């Protein structure tokens, strides 16, 4: 009986030890790990992003539509042209191939009323220029050129040949280099002045010293109105006409190129 008692006690003690170990093991793990929900529902991976097609659709390949410039119209300038009795036509130009060829408020000049009111000065080439340049050019013809010609030659200025004015090109029509002032509508090439007596006052007059002196006076005086004045003798590109523009050189509009 004693041996059984010892064995029984030893068994009881052994069961108590195992019970303690089981309870300790249960307490060692967080409760949420042992819940049925976590045991039966393992975490799912995040959803895959929507796959993009390996090859773009034709619509994706289509180039973006080129945005067309929509420059603001300087209505105040247009009003000043009308007040100065400079007749013109506001025009819309097609989008140029070269984005550097941009003209603000383009106008096509027709006539400039003379200062004495005896009639208009005709512009038969109908040059297209920016309104800002057209205003300067019109006042130059009316307030300087026409009075100077009448004072020197006692004859009225009838018309002025100018060429097209606006042209999308480089300076002196070079293949590369700086863009011309013509490409911004800020320049005109004056070819000749037609007088009311039928004579032509060209920039390379021959045989008439009085006519030559008149042309020289017009050319010199133009430097007070324009930032660039180029004529015969300046280079090979201006042997038969006078180029005038209002393109700013450097940081100041006071700088002049007069050749």
Reported as a single tens digit per residue, the pLDDT across 147-156 is 999 999 999 9
Q: What is the DSSP letter of 170?
A: B
| Reported confidence tier of residue 25, pLDDT bands at 50, 70, 90 | very low
Q: Which residues pair with 86 in a beta bridge?
A: 112
Reported as a single tens digit per residue, the pLDDT across 54-81 is 444 444 443 433 444 446 789 999 999 9
> What pLDDT, on the 0 to 100 scale, is given for residue 103?
92
**Of 1 and 126, more confident:** 126
**Of 116 and 41, more confident:** 116
The mean pLDDT of the chain is 78
> What pLDDT, on the 0 to 100 scale, is given for residue 153?
95
Is the alpha carbon torsion for 118, 144, 160, 73 positive or negative?
negative
Least confident of 12-21, 139-148, 154-163, 196-205: 12-21
Average pLDDT over residues 100-109: 93
Of 115-119, 141-145, 231-235, highest mean pLDDT: 141-145
Q: Rounded to an integer, what is the distance from CA 133 to the centroid of its chain?
A: 17
> What pLDDT, on the 0 to 100 scale, is given for residue 203?
86
Is the alpha carbon torsion for 40, 42, 43, 48 positive or negative?
negative
Model's pTM, two decimal places?
0.71
Cβ–Cβ < 8 Å for 203, 240: yes
Angle at 184 between CA 182 and CA 190, to 5 degrees: 30
**Tokens 């045989």 — which residue?**
207
| Nearest CA-CA partner of 127 in 199, 185, 48, 193 | 185
d(CA 4, CA 12): 12
Q: Which two tokens stand for residue 77?
A: 């300038």
């Amino acid at each position: 009986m004693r041996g059984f008692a010892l064995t029984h006690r030893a068994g009881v003690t052994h069961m108590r030890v195992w019970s303690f170990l089981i309870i300790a093991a249960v307490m060692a793990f967080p409760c949420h790990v042992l819940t049925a929900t976590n045991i039966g529902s393992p975490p799912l991976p995040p959803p895959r992003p929507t796959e993009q097609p390996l090859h773009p659709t034709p619509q994706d390949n289509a180039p973006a539509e080129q945005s067309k410039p929509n420059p603001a119209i300087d209505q105040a300038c247009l009003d000043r042209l009308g007040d100065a009795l400079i007749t013109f036509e506001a025009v819309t130009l097609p989008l140029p191939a070269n984005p550097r060829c941009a003209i603000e408020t383009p106008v096509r000049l027709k006539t400039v009323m003379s200062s004495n009111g005896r009639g208009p000065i005709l512009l038969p080439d109908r040059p297209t220029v920016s309104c800002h340049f057209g205003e300067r050019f019109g006042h130059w013809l009316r307030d300087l050129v026409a009075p100077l010609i009448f004072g020197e030659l006692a004859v009225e200025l009838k018309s002025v040949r100018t060429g097209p004015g606006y042209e999308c090109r480089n300076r002196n029509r070079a293949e590369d280099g700086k863009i011309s002032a013509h490409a911004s509508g800020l320049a005109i090439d004056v070819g000749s002045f037609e007088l009311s007596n039928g004579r032509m006052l060209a920039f390379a007059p021959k045989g008439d010293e009085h006519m030559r002196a008149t042309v020289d006076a017009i050319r010199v005086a133009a430097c007070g109105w324009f930032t660039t004045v180029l004529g015969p003798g300046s280079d090979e590109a201006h042997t038969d006409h006078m180029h005038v523009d209002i393109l700013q050189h450097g940081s100041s509009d006071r700088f002049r190129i007069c050749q």
